[in-house]
Structures are given as structure tokens and as C-alpha cells.
Amino acid sequence: MIAIIDYGRGNLGSVEKAFARLGVPATVTQDPRAVDDARAVVLPGDGAFHDAMANLQTLGLLAPLRRALDGTRPFLGICLGYQLLFTSSEEFGEGRGLDVIPGVVRRWRGASTACASPPPSSWGASTPRSSTRRRASAGGYGSSRTSRRS
């Protein structure tokens, strides 16, 4: 069974439906024992970093979550669930994460970065630039002949 961790901050319905559509047994749970017994673990999430970590602590899910991250079984962090794997986040002041991936989740700085706004990350419509279309049609992005952008 795959455990989908419910800590009050997640897109649980979408994740559960995705597994059901694939015919893969998965259970939404807040039970630390179910997380320990699962053959794979999914940590979905949306919302605030600090709140998520506090909820995991309150529900007694931090220890089983850390055990699930020991590399012996598949683990998937989605959205905030992935961010929680980092050492810390600067969202609403410094907050400690699970420290599985060394690093800090930083706020998007907008105009001070290479792009003026974050890249699209939703199912909404977006239009690629013509240079991107040329690379894609020439075997660039999304093919086995992908080369790095310069």
C-alpha cells in the first residue's frame, strides 16, 4: 500500500484520484503506523511551510516520515511536500525543514533574477517563445537528444 500523508496541508483528492486511475492501491492517512508500514510514501502539500512542519509534528508524523526517507522505499514529495525536504525555508521568516536535501527554499525575487516573474507552474495556458518551439521541433526539449540551454 502507498501512504498519502494527510497533515492538513495537501491536494489529497487529486493525488488519491491519480493513484486510483492507475489502479494502484493508496490510502490517505494521518496514522504514523500506516506510514511506517507503507511500501511507498507520498507527501503532497500546499500552504505555508511553517504550518506544515508544525502539523507534521503535532500529528506525530515527523519520525515516521524521516524513516520513510531512509532510501529503502519510494518517496514522492509534491509541491509543498517537496519543499519540506529542504533544510529550511525563508517563507515568513526562517523555518526548519526535514533537512533531507541540503539547501534553503527561497522566495522568488522577481526582477532581481533572470526572469521578471516565476515560470508558469499550473495547467493554465502558456505560449512558448519561438526559440523554444524551434528547439522542441528540432529534437531539443522532451526528446532523447536534449541539450543544455546556454
pLDDT digits (tens, 9 = 90+) for 48-92: 888 999 999 999 999 999 999 999 999 999 988 999 999 888 877
| Residue 130 placed within a domain | no
Residue 63 is part of which domain span?
A: 2-106
Q: What is the DSSP string of the chain?
A: -EEEE-SS-S-HHHHHHHHHHHT--EEEE--HHHHHH-SEEEE---S-HHHHHHHHHHTT-HHHHHHHTSSSS-EEE-THHHHTTEEEE-TTS-EE---SEEEEE----GGGSSSSSPPP-SSS-----HHHHHHHHTT-TTSTT-----
* Structural domains counted in the chain: 1
**CATH number, domain with residue 47:** 3.40.50.880
| Residue 13 placed within a domain | yes
| Residue 128 placed within a domain | no
Higher pLDDT, 89 or 135: 89
**Full-model pTM:** 0.72
pLDDT confidence band for 112 (50 / 70 / 90): low
| Residue 34 placed within a domain | yes
| Residue 77 placed within a domain | yes
| Residue 136 placed within a domain | no
pLDDT at 122 over 70: no
Q: What is the pLDDT of residue 10?
A: 74
Higher pLDDT, 112 or 132: 112
| Residue 121 placed within a domain | no
Q: What is the pLDDT of residue 128?
A: 60
| Residue 139 placed within a domain | no
